[in-house]
């Protein structure tokens, strides 16, 4: 599945380079028009990131998301600053299909296990941002990639599997926003190791060949942000590429 992604600061579409809030590019697009167009062309779900909420939970863009969800019925998964049951309830009440949880995965592991059981595995996506070190360990970073944790990707997935974990969004942060191509070997490894997980690949997609290569790794979805915003290829071409490899 192709999942177009939109990152938002102060209700505006932006892209950060390597997660740096000081290195952001704004895009003058009308989000609702894009979402309606994508739905018409066959997109099943879109990915929205509340970068304000991720930075400061008091600045979550709930009113903006409410307006968006009231204006279109395309399915959405939303992340950024999700730290409590109240946050999850708020988004699900608005009509969000899946809630994407990031830093809390590490900071509140027991709570996440409870949330998976309360809301069900289809409503929760765990977003794991990793950097591969020189020993080939997939180290997890949190708090906007500013803090390295003591955990590696495999350990965290193993921890949550008994709680029904199903959706994992895995980003190689060395690739994100760079248009330098995705880490194909990473996705081959993790889909082979965890065959019950529906992985979403994120980071580095710059051309249609990247989509084809990712499809062959076994990931269930590819999240694409900058390439679509900058028209490196069209949504129709991306969808066709994915479907042709199925």
Taking only the tens of pLDDT, the chain with its 246 residues reads 999 999 999 999 998 776 677 778 999 999 999 999 999 999 999 999 998 888 887 888 889 999 999 999 999 999 998 999 999 999 999 999 999 998 889 888 999 999 999 999 999 999 999 998 888 899 999 877 677 889 999 999 999 999 999 999 999 887 766 677 899 999 999 999 999 999 999 988 999 999 999 999 999 999 999 899 999 999 999 999 998 865
Q: Catalytic residue, from 50, 52, 87, 129: name it.
A: 129
Q: Catalytic residue, from 7, 87, 172, 210: name it.
A: 7
Cα separation, 85 vs 31, in Å, equals 27
The residues, ordered by sequence, that sit 6+ positions from 198 with a Cβ below 8 Å of its Cβ are 166, 167, 168, 220, 221
Residue 179 sits in which domain range?
2-244
Question: 129 an active-site residue?
Answer: yes
Three-state SS at 152: strand
Cα separation, 132 vs 186, in Å, equals 9
CATH number at residue 114: 3.20.20.70
**Beta pairing, strands 138-142 & 124-132:** antiparallel
Task: Give the number of other CB atoms < 10 A from CB of residue 136.
Answer: 8
Cα separation, 107 vs 101, in Å, equals 11
Question: Residue 64: exposed, middle, or buried by beta-carbon count in 10 A (0-12, 13-18, 19+)?
Answer: middle
The residues, ordered by sequence, that sit 6+ positions from 115 with a Cβ below 8 Å of its Cβ are 85, 88, 101, 124
Number of domains in the chain: 1
Question: 7 an active-site residue?
Answer: yes
pLDDT score at 18? 67
């Amino acid at each position: 599945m192709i999942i177009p992604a939109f990152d938002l600061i102060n209700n505006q579409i932006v892209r950060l380079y390597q997660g740096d809030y000081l290195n952001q590019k704004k895009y003058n697009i009308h989000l609702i028009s894009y979402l309606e167009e994508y739905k018409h062309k066959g997109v099943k779900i879109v990915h929205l990131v509340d970068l304000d909420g991720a930075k400061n939970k008091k600045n979550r863009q709930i009113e903006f998301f409410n307006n968006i969800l009231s204006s279109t019925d395309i399915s959405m998964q939303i992340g950024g600053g999700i730290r409590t049951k109240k946050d999850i309830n708020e988004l699900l009440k608005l009509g969000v299909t899946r809630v994407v949880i990031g830093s809390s995965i590490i900071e509140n592991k027991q709570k996440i296990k409870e949330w998976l059981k309360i809301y069900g595995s289809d409503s929760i996506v765990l977003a794991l941002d990793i950097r591969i070190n020189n020993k080939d360990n997939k180290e997890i970073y949190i708090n906007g990639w500013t803090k390295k944790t003591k955990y590696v990707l495999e350990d965290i997935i193993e921890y949550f599997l008994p709680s029904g974990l199903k959706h994992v969004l895995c980003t190689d942060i060395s690739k994100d926003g760079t248009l330098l191509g995705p880490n194909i070997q990473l996705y081959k490894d993790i889909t082979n190791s965890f065959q019950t997980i529906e992985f979403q690949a994120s980071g580095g997609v710059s051309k249609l060949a990247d989509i084809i290569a990712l499809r062959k790794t076994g990931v269930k979805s590819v999240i694409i942000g900058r390439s679509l915003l900058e028209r490196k290829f069209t949504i129709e071409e991306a969808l066709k590429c994915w479907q042709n490899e199925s």
